[in-house]
Structure 1
């Protein structure tokens, strides 16, 4: 019987429930009361239920009527979103925007940009996923994300369009109880090699290429938060994003590890890119999000005229 159900019938049902009478619903919907009554009677007849108790001065919803009003509101809202997505597609807005990020991406500006995106495109379905190292790039390649904020090591692949977004500054840190924090001098690389390094790894290829690893005493982590727990517990040292550890440096739970004669091969910054597959250009909402993010990161530029985006 669902085939005989119409959005108009549901709209009439919800309007009566909101206003409390058939006549008031008729006035709002600009219809005669008899037309409203006939719509309700048809809905009740087709569905085989009684929606209103008409024994009193004003119609009252039955128990099943109250339950179905809830469902009717849900269906009407879904229909409105359906129409909004279709209208957006006609204007070049993606039907959905899937975003993936690597763990080293600064999150505060991203959160604010996603809030602004929601205000600018209120009907746009957005999906979001955080990934282990290089996971965002994999989602991009599998078609599970349209836009990735990620590291691209050792270089940007040919089939990906990547725009530098921000330089993530990594600093060596350690718990104040750790041996390296109590040397009373800058640590040499020989000192550091004796201690466990807490390394963020790609879960898909844990034995793949390594960047910035010193020595052989390595504990590997997929999750940045779990690595931070071990760091705070004094179980090793590592380089961490400066913005993430700033509160712990301020309250004394971490200290900066002073390093003497740091090898030139070790990296202090990593480039975070906004990336999409070259064969799948971004739509209007994706470009808007990047415009907003670059402004928040202090890199104002309009992407609307940028070839490839």
Structure 2
């Protein structure tokens, strides 16, 4: 009986579960509601279990439905990945390479990898954007980019393949003129909370109500790392910057490390950077060329001052 299962039925089941009703699923799939209801009923008959409790205003997943939904989602992800692989094997050079880069990742590495990819695929146009926090993953989920570079572990998604590239050191810094720079002895989190913290806000919906890395109740929320750096240099407050961005100001004494062990040794914490793409979307020759160049640049020796560089190649 299970041989009678179809991918179409499974997609309808997944869509109803995610949309919350047969009507909403039908609109999303471009089908009539009766066709969706019939397909789910046939699937339930084939499986021998009820997937939804229909007694209320909206269908609710039964315990059996919740258990099987995990398997259905996994099957569909694998099928989509296989189709993407097949399209990639048969496809030609893409017209445009869309890339979204986390603002914490060093742009010089991106530029060097794009230059190599452009030599391999000179006809391909490049669309490059920089976004913070959940932005790079959202760009993939919304199919605005073929590739994204993310930094950190907060935005994993089962539809996204991730490959580690390198480590970015985030350093808690403050202007040399700020009171925190003159504080004696190690500072704890409570002492940091007494001062304004400069933090990056997220334009994507992925963070929801979460505050990532925010310690102080008093914050200045900014839209980019360049303005964040400028506000910290101006003495407005303290904040964390990627080491590659803070290195020159630290070396010249315009910035100093915050004297705390609450944010890692020497006020420094490593965050892993990943190159990401959708499992169900094939990567064309230009995307593959960029990915290979970036991985090589991140893994190879790099001319960086230590210890203030803030970028370390993956072992």
Q: Give the TM-score category using the shorter length.
A: 0.5 to 0.7
Does residue 95 in structure 1 map to residue 99 in structure 2? Answer: no
Q: 2:171–2:242: 8 Å Cα contact kept in structure 1?
A: yes
Q: How does 1:47-58 map to 2 (within 5 A)?
A: none
Q: How does 1:192-271 map to 2 (within 5 A)?
A: 192-205=192-205, 208-262=209-263, 268-271=269-272
1 CA distance for matches of 2:227 and 2:253? 19
Residues 153/298 of structure 1: CA separation in 2 closer, same or farther (3 Å cut)? closer
2 CA distance for matches of 1:158 and 1:267? 30
Q: 2:169–2:271: 8 Å Cα contact kept in structure 1?
A: yes
Tell me what 1:142 maps to: 142
Q: What is the root-mean-square deviation of aligned Cα atoms in Å? A: 2.4
Does residue 174 in structure 1 map to residue 174 in structure 2? Answer: yes
Q: 2:263–2:269: 8 Å Cα contact kept in structure 1?
A: no
Q: 1:133–1:222: 8 Å Cα contact kept in structure 2?
A: no
TM superposition shift of 1:299 = 6.1
Q: TM-score, normalised by structure 1?
A: 0.63
Residues 169/246 of structure 1: CA separation in 2 closer, same or farther (3 Å cut)? same
Question: Any gaps of 5 or more consecutive residues in structure 2?
Answer: 1-88, 302-315
Q: 1:195–1:217: 8 Å Cα contact kept in structure 2?
A: yes
Does residue 121 in structure 1 map to residue 105 in structure 2? Answer: no
What do the CA deviations read for 1:21-46 (whole angstroms, capped 9, x no partner)?
Answer: xxxxxxxxxxxxxxxxxxxxxxxxxx
Q: 1:104–1:241: 8 Å Cα contact kept in structure 2?
A: yes
2 CA distance for matches of 1:275 and 1:110? 14
Q: 2:95–2:125: 8 Å Cα contact kept in structure 1?
A: yes
Residues 137/155 of structure 1: CA separation in 2 closer, same or farther (3 Å cut)? closer
TM superposition shift of 1:267 = 7.9
What do the CA deviations read for 1:59-82 (whole angstroms, capped 9, x no partner)?
Answer: xxxxxxxxxxxxxxxxxxxxxxxx
Q: 1:231–1:238: 8 Å Cα contact kept in structure 2?
A: yes
1 CA distance for matches of 2:91 and 2:282? 15
1 CA distance for matches of 2:125 and 2:169? 32
Tell me what 1:189 maps to: 189
Question: Any gaps of 5 or more consecutive residues in structure 1?
Answer: 1-88, 301-309
Q: 2:172–2:268: 8 Å Cα contact kept in structure 1?
A: no
Q: How does 1:24-39 map to 2 (within 5 A)?
A: none
TM superposition shift of 1:246 = 0.2
TM superposition shift of 1:145 = 0.5
TM superposition shift of 1:153 = 4.0
Q: 1:170–1:269: 8 Å Cα contact kept in structure 2?
A: yes
What stretches of structure 1 move > 3 A for 4+ residues in a row? Answer: 89-92, 204-207, 260-264
TM superposition shift of 1:146 = 0.5
Secondary structure at the counterpart of residue 170 of structure 2: strand
Tell me what 1:158 maps to: 158
Secondary structure at the counterpart of residue 136 of structure 1: helix
How many residues were matched structurally?
A: 211
TM superposition shift of 1:295 = 0.7
Deviates more, 1:225-234 or 1:133-142: 133-142
Q: 1:175–1:253: 8 Å Cα contact kept in structure 2?
A: yes
2 CA distance for matches of 1:222 and 1:241? 15
Q: 1:221–1:227: 8 Å Cα contact kept in structure 2?
A: yes
Secondary structure at the counterpart of residue 246 of structure 1: helix
TM superposition shift of 1:230 = 0.5
2 CA distance for matches of 1:263 and 1:106? 21
Larger radius of gyration: 1
TM superposition shift of 1:159 = 0.6
Residues 283/262 of structure 1: CA separation in 2 closer, same or farther (3 Å cut)? closer
